[in-house]
């Protein structure tokens, strides 16, 4: 069956450290993988998109890697801040999917002082 799994446990890290979140998928061949941030009671906000032929993408303190052999994406936040505390969702889009996104389970990140 198809699955998109993210760290089920909340991730607590200290301010200034790098947070690394994982997204693993099975029985998908995504053309694109996206990461979103969601705050409680709000809609998701787009962060980064990476294509199947790209290994890595960066934007300011954010970095995403995409390994289609391992079927895994890693999402890194460097120099983390308490304001980065939120739930982070990965989402897959397959070729011919008509922009439909399938979301992972989400990982809650808490950055502590």
Partner 1 sequence: GAVVSQHPSRVICKSGTSVKIECRSLDFQATTMFWYRQFPKQSLMLMATSNEGSKATYEQGVEKDKFLINHASLTLSTLTVTSAHPEDSSFYICSAPPGTSAGETQYFGPGTRLLVL
Between CA 50 and CA 33 the distance in angstroms is: 5
| Distance of closest approach, residue 106 Cβ to partner 1, in angstroms | 5
Distance of CA 87 to the CA centre of its chain: 10
Q: Which is nearer to partner 1, 27 or 113 (CB)?
A: 27
φ, ψ for residue 84 (rounded to 5)?
-80, -10
Give the SS3 label for residue 83. Answer: helix
Burial of 36 (0-12, 13-18, 19+ CB in 10 A): buried
Interface characters, 70-99, with partner 1 (x: CB under 8 A): -------------------x---x-xxxxx
Strand partners, 50: 33
Q: Which is nearer to partner 1, 39 or 112 (CB)?
A: 39
| Distance of closest approach, residue 15 Cβ to partner 1, in angstroms | 25
> Do residues 103 and 112 make contact, with C-beta atoms less than 8 angstroms apart?
no
Instruction: Assess 69 for contact with partner 1 (CB under 8 A).
Output: no
Residue numbers 19-58 binding partner 1 by CB under 8 A: 31-32, 34, 36, 41-46, 49, 51
Instruction: Assess 105 for contact with partner 1 (CB under 8 A).
Output: yes
Please give the residue ranges that form the binding site for partner 1 (CB under 8 A).
Answer: 31-32, 34, 36, 41-46, 49, 51, 89, 93, 95-106
């Amino acid at each position: 069956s198809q699955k998109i799994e993210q760290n089920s446990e909340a991730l607590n890290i200290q301010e200034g450290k790098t947070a690394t979140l994982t997204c693993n998928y099975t029985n998908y061949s995504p053309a694109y993988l996206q990461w979103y941030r969601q705050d409680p009671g709000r809609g998701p906000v787009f962060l980064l998109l990476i294509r199947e032929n790209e290994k890595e993408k960066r934007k300011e303190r954010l970095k995403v890697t995409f390994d289609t052999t391992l079927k895994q994406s890693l999402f890194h936040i460097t120099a983390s801040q308490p304001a980065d505390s939120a739930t982070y969702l990965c989402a897959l889009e397959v070729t011919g999917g008509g922009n439909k996104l399938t979301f992972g389970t989400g990982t809650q990140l808490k950055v502590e002082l």
